[in-house]
């Protein structure tokens, strides 16, 4: 399975994990690596989520730590080949490059099958529903709706950008029996793909809605359409967090803290302040 920092996908539809967790524990019972600090693992170079101390997951990590009365300490790490590798490196074992794991890792897809295959961690507390989307130059590309056979016919003539080695890239390379693969321009990141659209190199970009919303926030003439088509088996998945499987008190405390952030409206503000729309998964 590839990585959906890059892309998680998700051998099955996204299904929430509803683990039975004990009541919130006192900070002294949380089995933290360092007293008074919550060490939070987030992906590096991943705007708008986490990039050089800024982003949605950074702000969320700070808010969670504050709710627990702890200091937030971040470790920004590069994605490995597989998200299961990331959980090993940054939650339950440690990174082969020498980085200590976090007490908690953010931006983990909450999926029952994925969780079952990673039993050394507890995956819980979905805080955002991520979805696939296409940003398009509305003067060149009509609204994306219906089946790929109809909606993507325009891409036999127009080019579409995608971040290399992502779910969106894989989809464009294989949909319609690979007919569109020569029309796909690959970029190292969504922001670079967005720059390509603005420069006229491509007429559209496929990616996750959160990334596209921020990348095209001030781009006149660019419209973002959700991808809901039969050819795209997985169109969305909840994002949550992970801790070691033998740290249930920490999971419970973080789950309670997230619920408080949701009830107070702070979670929604974190997304809006970072230029994105918060979409609430079921089960929060």
Q: Which residues contact 150 (CB under 8 A, 6 or more apart)?
A: none
Residue 82 within a domain: yes
Cβ neighbourhood burial of 140 (10 Å; 0-12, 13-18, 19+): middle
Residue 23 within a domain: no
**How confident is the model at residue 27, as a pLDDT?**
53
Does the pLDDT at position 11 exceed 70?
A: no
Closest alpha carbon to 85 in 67, 63, 101: 101
Are residue 101 and residue 178 in the same domain, yes or no?
no
How large is the average pLDDT for residues 67-89? 93
What's the farthest any 2 CA atoms get from each other in the chain? 61
HSE-up (13 A, CA, CB side) for residue 31: 12
Are residue 139 and residue 265 in the same domain, yes or no?
no
Are residue 141 and residue 98 in the same domain, yes or no?
no
- Give dist(CA 212, CA 235) in Å, integer: 15
Residue 170 within a domain: yes
Are residue 202 and residue 245 in the same domain, yes or no?
no
Are residue 64 and residue 181 in the same domain, yes or no?
no
Is the CB of residue 242 less than 8 Å from the CB of residue 253?
A: no
Are residue 158 and residue 69 in the same domain, yes or no?
no
Residue 278 within a domain: no
pLDDT in tens, 159-171: 999 999 999 999 9
User: How many Cβ atoms from other residues are within 10 Å of residue 111's Cβ?
Assistant: 25
Residue 6 within a domain: no
Is the CB of residue 223 less than 8 Å from the CB of residue 138?
A: yes
Residue 87 within a domain: yes
Are residue 169 and residue 202 in the same domain, yes or no?
yes
Stated length of the chain: 284
**How confident is the model at residue 202, as a pLDDT?**
98
3-state class of 108 per DSSP? strand
pLDDT in tens, 101-133: 999 999 999 999 999 999 999 999 999 999 999
Q: Is the peptide bond before 100 cis (omega within 30 degrees of 0)?
A: no
Tally of domains in the chain:
2
Q: What is the CATH number of the domain that holds 88?
A: 3.40.190.10
Instruction: Report pTM.
Output: 0.88
Structural domain that includes position 57: 32-129+238-273
Token code pair at residue 109? 């897809």
How large is the average pLDDT for residues 192-211? 97
Are residue 101 and residue 163 in the same domain, yes or no?
no
Residue 269 within a domain: yes
- Give dist(CA 227, CA 143) in Å, integer: 11
**Element at 30 (helix H, strand E):** none
Are residue 63 and residue 49 in the same domain, yes or no?
yes
Residue 233 within a domain: no
DSSP state of 113: H
């Amino acid at each position: 399975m590839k990585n959906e920092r890059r892309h998680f996908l998700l051998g099955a539809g996204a299904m929430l994990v509803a683990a039975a967790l004990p009541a919130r524990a006192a900070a002294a019972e949380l089995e933290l690596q360092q007293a008074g600090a919550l060490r939070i693992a987030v992906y590096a170079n991943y705007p708008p989520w986490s990039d050089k101390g800024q982003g949605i997951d950074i702000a969320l990590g700070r808010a969670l730590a504050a709710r627990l009365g702890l200091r937030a300490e971040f470790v920004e790490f590069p994605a490995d080949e597989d998200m299961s590798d990331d959980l090993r490196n940054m939650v339950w074992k440690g990174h082969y490059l020498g980085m200590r794991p976090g007490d908690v890792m953010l931006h983990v897809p909450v999926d029952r099958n994925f969780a079952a295959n990673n039993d050394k961690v507890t995956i819980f507390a979905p805080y955002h529903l991520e979805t696939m989307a296409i940003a398009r130059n509305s003067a060149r590309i009509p609204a994306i709706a219906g089946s790929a056979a109809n909606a993507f016919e325009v891409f036999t003539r127009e080019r579409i950008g995608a971040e290399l080695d992502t779910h969106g890239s894989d989809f464009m390379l294989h949909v319609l029996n690979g007919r569109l693969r020569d029309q796909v321009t690959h970029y190292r990141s969504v922001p670079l793909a967005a720059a390509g659209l603005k420069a006229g190199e491509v007429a559209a970009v496929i990616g996750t809605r959160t990334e596209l919303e921020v990348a095209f926030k001030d781009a006149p003439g660019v419209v973002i359409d959700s991808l809901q088509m039969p050819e795209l088996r997985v169109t969305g998945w909840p994002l949550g967090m992970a801790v070691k499987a033998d740290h249930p008190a920490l999971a419970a405390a973080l789950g309670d803290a997230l619920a408080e952030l949701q009830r107070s409206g702070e979670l929604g503000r974190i997304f809006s302040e970072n230029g994105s729309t918060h979409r609430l998964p079921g089960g929060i």
